[in-house]
Amino acid sequence: MHRRNFLLNTGILTGAGILLQQKAVASFFKTYEYNIRMLRADVGIFTERGGTMGFLLSKDGAVVIDSQFADTAPHLIDEVNKRGTAPIKYLLNTHHHGDHTSGNIAFKGFVEHVISHENALINLKASSEKAKTVDKQLYPDQTFDKQLKLKTGKEKIKGYYFGAGHTNGDAIYHFQEANIMHVGDLMFNKRHPFVDRTAGANIQSWISVLEKIQKKGDKKTIYIFGHSLNPGEETGSAEDLKLFQDYLDKLLKFAEAEIKRGVSKEAFIKNTAIPGVTAWTGSGIDRPLTAAYEELATAKKV
Protein backbone atom coordinates (compact mmCIF):
# COMPACT_ATOMS: atom_id res chain seq x y z
CA MET A 1 0.00 0.00 0.00
CA HIS A 2 1.35 3.39 -0.97
CA ARG A 3 -0.54 6.17 0.73
CA ARG A 4 0.12 9.87 0.27
CA ASN A 5 -1.45 12.58 2.38
CA PHE A 6 -1.31 16.26 1.46
CA LEU A 7 -2.29 18.70 4.21
CA LEU A 8 -2.91 22.03 2.51
CA ASN A 9 -3.79 25.44 3.92
CA THR A 10 -7.28 25.11 2.48
CA GLY A 11 -8.03 21.71 3.97
CA ILE A 12 -6.99 18.08 3.86
CA LEU A 13 -6.80 16.09 0.67
CA THR A 14 -6.11 12.40 1.06
CA GLY A 15 -5.03 10.12 -1.75
CA ALA A 16 -4.64 6.38 -1.29
CA GLY A 17 -3.55 3.65 -3.65
CA ILE A 18 -3.77 -0.03 -2.81
CA LEU A 19 -1.67 -2.63 -4.52
CA LEU A 20 -2.86 -6.17 -3.94
CA GLN A 21 -0.61 -9.10 -4.69
CA GLN A 22 -0.61 -12.77 -3.90
CA LYS A 23 0.31 -13.70 -0.34
CA ALA A 24 3.52 -15.31 -1.54
CA VAL A 25 4.95 -11.96 -2.67
CA ALA A 26 3.07 -9.57 -0.37
CA SER A 27 5.95 -9.48 2.11
CA PHE A 28 8.16 -7.83 -0.50
CA PHE A 29 6.06 -4.69 -0.55
CA LYS A 30 6.59 -1.96 2.02
CA THR A 31 3.96 0.39 3.40
CA TYR A 32 4.56 4.11 3.05
CA GLU A 33 2.61 6.95 4.53
CA TYR A 34 3.77 10.51 4.28
CA ASN A 35 2.37 13.98 4.71
CA ILE A 36 3.07 17.24 2.93
CA ARG A 37 1.80 20.44 4.54
CA MET A 38 2.26 23.85 2.97
CA LEU A 39 2.95 26.49 5.61
CA ARG A 40 3.28 29.87 3.91
CA ALA A 41 4.03 31.00 0.36
CA ASP A 42 5.94 28.13 -1.31
CA VAL A 43 7.45 26.68 1.89
CA GLY A 44 6.18 23.47 3.43
CA ILE A 45 7.12 20.43 5.49
CA PHE A 46 7.34 16.73 4.74
CA THR A 47 6.88 14.07 7.43
CA GLU A 48 7.15 10.33 7.15
CA ARG A 49 9.82 8.74 9.34
CA GLY A 50 12.64 10.54 11.09
CA GLY A 51 13.24 14.28 11.41
CA THR A 52 10.86 16.79 9.86
CA MET A 53 11.95 17.89 6.37
CA GLY A 54 11.37 21.42 5.15
CA PHE A 55 11.27 22.57 1.54
CA LEU A 56 10.93 25.58 -0.74
CA LEU A 57 9.38 25.26 -4.19
CA SER A 58 10.94 27.65 -6.71
CA LYS A 59 11.29 27.74 -10.47
CA ASP A 60 14.85 28.91 -9.90
CA GLY A 61 15.65 25.74 -7.94
CA ALA A 62 14.02 24.04 -4.99
CA VAL A 63 15.55 23.90 -1.52
CA VAL A 64 15.19 20.96 0.87
CA ILE A 65 16.15 20.89 4.54
CA ASP A 66 17.16 17.46 5.92
CA SER A 67 16.62 14.13 4.20
CA GLN A 68 15.31 11.51 6.64
CA PHE A 69 16.17 8.06 5.21
CA ALA A 70 17.16 6.61 1.84
CA ASP A 71 13.72 5.01 1.45
CA THR A 72 11.68 8.07 2.44
CA ALA A 73 13.59 10.94 0.79
CA PRO A 74 12.61 9.83 -2.76
CA HIS A 75 8.96 10.50 -1.91
CA LEU A 76 9.65 14.20 -1.41
CA ILE A 77 12.00 14.31 -4.40
CA ASP A 78 9.21 12.89 -6.58
CA GLU A 79 6.70 15.43 -5.30
CA VAL A 80 9.09 18.34 -5.85
CA ASN A 81 9.81 17.16 -9.40
CA LYS A 82 6.08 16.81 -10.16
CA ARG A 83 5.65 20.47 -9.34
CA GLY A 84 8.17 21.45 -12.01
CA THR A 85 10.66 23.04 -9.63
CA ALA A 86 13.62 20.85 -10.54
CA PRO A 87 16.54 21.01 -10.24
CA ILE A 88 16.87 20.89 -6.49
CA LYS A 89 19.42 23.61 -5.88
CA TYR A 90 20.30 23.04 -2.23
CA LEU A 91 19.95 20.28 0.35
CA LEU A 92 20.60 21.76 3.78
CA ASN A 93 21.40 19.49 6.75
CA THR A 94 20.54 20.77 10.23
CA HIS A 95 22.95 18.27 11.84
CA HIS A 96 24.51 14.86 11.24
CA HIS A 97 22.15 12.31 12.82
CA GLY A 98 21.00 9.48 10.57
CA ASP A 99 17.29 10.30 10.73
CA HIS A 100 18.17 13.65 9.13
CA THR A 101 21.00 12.67 6.74
CA SER A 102 20.65 9.02 5.72
CA GLY A 103 18.46 10.18 2.85
CA ASN A 104 21.19 12.46 1.48
CA ILE A 105 22.25 9.68 -0.87
CA ALA A 106 18.81 9.75 -2.53
CA PHE A 107 19.56 13.31 -3.71
CA LYS A 108 22.64 12.25 -5.64
CA GLY A 109 22.15 13.43 -9.20
CA PHE A 110 19.18 15.60 -8.19
CA VAL A 111 20.82 18.29 -6.05
CA GLU A 112 23.48 20.84 -6.94
CA HIS A 113 24.90 21.36 -3.44
CA VAL A 114 24.62 19.78 0.02
CA ILE A 115 25.36 22.20 2.86
CA SER A 116 25.80 21.88 6.63
CA HIS A 117 27.66 23.44 9.53
CA GLU A 118 31.33 22.45 9.52
CA ASN A 119 30.99 20.43 12.75
CA ALA A 120 28.06 18.50 11.31
CA LEU A 121 30.23 17.32 8.42
CA ILE A 122 32.97 16.24 10.83
CA ASN A 123 30.42 14.34 12.92
CA LEU A 124 28.78 12.75 9.87
CA LYS A 125 32.09 11.48 8.53
CA ALA A 126 33.08 10.11 11.93
CA SER A 127 29.77 8.34 12.52
CA SER A 128 29.57 6.86 9.02
CA GLU A 129 33.16 5.62 9.19
CA LYS A 130 32.43 4.02 12.54
CA ALA A 131 29.27 2.38 11.19
CA LYS A 132 31.05 1.47 7.93
CA THR A 133 28.37 3.21 5.86
CA VAL A 134 30.61 5.63 3.96
CA ASP A 135 29.45 4.17 0.64
CA LYS A 136 25.85 5.00 1.57
CA GLN A 137 26.52 8.68 2.30
CA LEU A 138 26.33 11.85 0.29
CA TYR A 139 28.41 14.31 2.28
CA PRO A 140 27.96 18.08 2.24
CA ASP A 141 30.21 19.68 -0.37
CA GLN A 142 29.89 23.10 1.31
CA THR A 143 30.01 24.07 4.98
CA PHE A 144 29.80 27.26 7.03
CA ASP A 145 30.95 28.45 10.44
CA LYS A 146 28.73 31.18 11.94
CA GLN A 147 26.47 32.30 9.12
CA LEU A 148 25.32 31.32 5.64
CA LYS A 149 23.56 33.38 2.95
CA LEU A 150 21.74 31.85 -0.02
CA LYS A 151 19.19 33.05 -2.56
CA THR A 152 16.87 31.24 -4.93
CA GLY A 153 14.18 33.12 -6.79
CA LYS A 154 12.68 35.76 -4.50
CA GLU A 155 13.55 33.84 -1.35
CA LYS A 156 16.55 34.74 0.76
CA ILE A 157 17.83 32.06 3.11
CA LYS A 158 20.08 32.62 6.08
CA GLY A 159 21.81 29.87 8.01
CA TYR A 160 22.96 30.40 11.59
CA TYR A 161 25.13 28.59 14.09
CA PHE A 162 24.80 29.76 17.70
CA GLY A 163 26.84 27.13 19.53
CA ALA A 164 26.42 23.68 21.03
CA GLY A 165 22.93 22.38 21.73
CA HIS A 166 21.55 19.02 20.67
CA THR A 167 25.02 18.44 19.14
CA ASN A 168 27.95 20.79 18.49
CA GLY A 169 26.88 21.25 14.87
CA ASP A 170 23.21 22.30 14.86
CA ALA A 171 22.37 24.77 12.10
CA ILE A 172 19.23 26.89 11.85
CA TYR A 173 17.85 27.89 8.43
CA HIS A 174 15.60 30.92 7.98
CA PHE A 175 13.46 31.48 4.88
CA GLN A 176 13.34 35.23 5.34
CA GLU A 177 10.64 36.24 2.88
CA ALA A 178 8.27 33.52 4.10
CA ASN A 179 9.52 34.10 7.67
CA ILE A 180 9.82 30.39 8.40
CA MET A 181 12.72 29.01 10.41
CA HIS A 182 13.78 25.34 10.52
CA VAL A 183 15.48 24.70 13.86
CA GLY A 184 16.02 20.96 13.48
CA ASP A 185 16.55 18.99 16.67
CA LEU A 186 17.15 22.11 18.70
CA MET A 187 13.41 21.76 19.29
CA PHE A 188 11.68 18.59 20.50
CA ASN A 189 8.02 19.51 20.86
CA LYS A 190 6.49 17.76 23.89
CA ARG A 191 8.89 14.86 23.34
CA HIS A 192 11.85 14.13 25.60
CA PRO A 193 14.98 15.12 23.68
CA PHE A 194 18.04 13.16 22.70
CA VAL A 195 21.13 14.98 23.99
CA ASP A 196 24.14 13.71 22.03
CA ARG A 197 27.04 14.35 24.40
CA THR A 198 29.28 12.17 22.20
CA ALA A 199 28.84 14.87 19.53
CA GLY A 200 29.41 17.84 21.81
CA ALA A 201 25.88 18.49 23.08
CA ASN A 202 25.53 20.91 25.98
CA ILE A 203 22.22 21.62 27.72
CA GLN A 204 23.29 24.92 29.32
CA SER A 205 24.44 26.22 25.95
CA TRP A 206 21.27 24.83 24.33
CA ILE A 207 19.16 27.15 26.49
CA SER A 208 21.20 30.11 25.26
CA VAL A 209 20.94 28.96 21.63
CA LEU A 210 17.14 28.88 21.87
CA GLU A 211 17.20 32.45 23.15
CA LYS A 212 19.32 33.57 20.18
CA ILE A 213 16.97 31.81 17.75
CA GLN A 214 14.01 33.75 19.10
CA LYS A 215 15.87 37.03 18.65
CA LYS A 216 16.26 36.24 14.94
CA GLY A 217 12.52 35.73 14.59
CA ASP A 218 9.42 37.70 15.52
CA LYS A 219 5.78 37.12 16.49
CA LYS A 220 4.91 36.03 12.97
CA THR A 221 7.77 33.54 12.54
CA ILE A 222 6.76 29.92 12.00
CA TYR A 223 9.29 27.49 13.46
CA ILE A 224 9.76 23.99 12.06
CA PHE A 225 10.70 21.46 14.74
CA GLY A 226 12.89 18.40 14.26
CA HIS A 227 10.52 16.19 16.23
CA SER A 228 7.18 16.33 17.99
CA LEU A 229 5.36 13.86 20.20
CA ASN A 230 2.05 14.38 18.42
CA PRO A 231 1.59 14.25 14.63
CA GLY A 232 0.62 17.64 13.26
CA GLU A 233 2.60 19.56 15.87
CA GLU A 234 5.87 19.76 13.94
CA THR A 235 5.59 23.54 13.71
CA GLY A 236 4.88 26.32 16.18
CA SER A 237 5.78 29.74 17.54
CA ALA A 238 8.36 31.35 19.79
CA GLU A 239 6.13 30.41 22.73
CA ASP A 240 6.87 26.74 22.05
CA LEU A 241 10.61 27.46 22.06
CA LYS A 242 10.23 29.27 25.39
CA LEU A 243 8.44 26.26 26.85
CA PHE A 244 11.28 24.00 25.72
CA GLN A 245 13.80 26.43 27.22
CA ASP A 246 11.92 26.14 30.49
CA TYR A 247 11.99 22.34 30.19
CA LEU A 248 15.77 22.33 29.79
CA ASP A 249 16.22 24.81 32.64
CA LYS A 250 14.09 22.72 35.00
CA LEU A 251 15.98 19.60 33.89
CA LEU A 252 19.33 21.10 34.86
CA LYS A 253 18.05 22.49 38.16
CA PHE A 254 16.55 19.11 39.04
CA ALA A 255 19.84 17.34 38.28
CA GLU A 256 21.84 19.93 40.23
CA ALA A 257 19.64 19.57 43.31
CA GLU A 258 19.80 15.79 43.24
CA ILE A 259 23.57 15.75 42.78
CA LYS A 260 23.92 18.03 45.82
CA ARG A 261 21.79 15.55 47.78
CA GLY A 262 24.23 12.82 46.86
CA VAL A 263 21.86 10.94 44.54
CA SER A 264 23.72 8.60 42.19
CA LYS A 265 23.34 8.74 38.42
CA GLU A 266 21.80 5.28 38.42
CA ALA A 267 19.13 6.38 40.88
CA PHE A 268 18.57 9.74 39.20
CA ILE A 269 17.81 8.36 35.75
CA LYS A 270 15.08 6.16 37.23
CA ASN A 271 12.92 9.27 37.69
CA THR A 272 9.77 9.29 35.57
CA ALA A 273 9.15 13.05 35.65
CA ILE A 274 10.92 16.39 35.92
CA PRO A 275 9.49 18.65 38.65
CA GLY A 276 7.38 21.42 37.13
CA VAL A 277 7.26 19.84 33.66
CA THR A 278 3.88 18.52 32.50
CA ALA A 279 3.71 18.99 28.73
CA TRP A 280 6.65 16.70 27.90
CA THR A 281 5.54 13.09 28.18
CA GLY A 282 6.12 9.69 26.64
CA SER A 283 9.17 7.47 26.72
CA GLY A 284 12.83 8.46 26.63
CA ILE A 285 13.08 10.63 29.74
CA ASP A 286 16.16 8.66 30.79
CA ARG A 287 18.11 10.26 27.90
CA PRO A 288 17.94 13.91 29.05
CA LEU A 289 18.22 12.85 32.70
CA THR A 290 21.46 10.99 31.95
CA ALA A 291 22.86 13.86 29.89
CA ALA A 292 22.02 16.51 32.51
CA TYR A 293 23.57 14.50 35.33
CA GLU A 294 26.75 13.80 33.34
CA GLU A 295 27.08 17.41 32.17
CA LEU A 296 26.88 18.81 35.70
CA ALA A 297 28.99 16.06 37.25
CA THR A 298 31.72 16.65 34.68
CA ALA A 299 31.64 20.41 35.20
CA LYS A 300 31.89 19.90 38.96
CA LYS A 301 35.04 17.79 38.56
CA VAL A 302 36.64 20.46 36.39
Q: What is the mean pLDDT of residues 223-235?
A: 97
Q: Quick one: pLDDT band at residue 83, thresholds 50, 70, 90?
A: confident
Closest residue by Cα to residue 148 from 94, 85, 99: 94
| Exposure letters 168-179 (e unless 16+ CB within 10 A, then b) | bbbbbbbbebbb
Report, as an integer, the average pLDDT of 240-266: 98
Kind plus residue range of the DSSP H or E element containing 20 = none
pLDDT the model gives residue 137: 96
CA–CA separation, 148 vs 113, rounded Å? 13
Per-domain boundaries in the chain: 2-301
273-287 pLDDT per residue, tens: 999 999 999 999 999
Q: Is 300's pLDDT higher than 90?
A: no
Indicate the pLDDT class of residue 90, thresholds 50, 70 and 90: very high
Tell me the per-residue pLDDT of 161-202, one tens digit each, with 9 for 90 and over. Answer: 999 999 999 999 999 999 999 999 999 999 999 999 999 999
Does domain 2-301 correspond to CATH entry 3.40.50.620? no
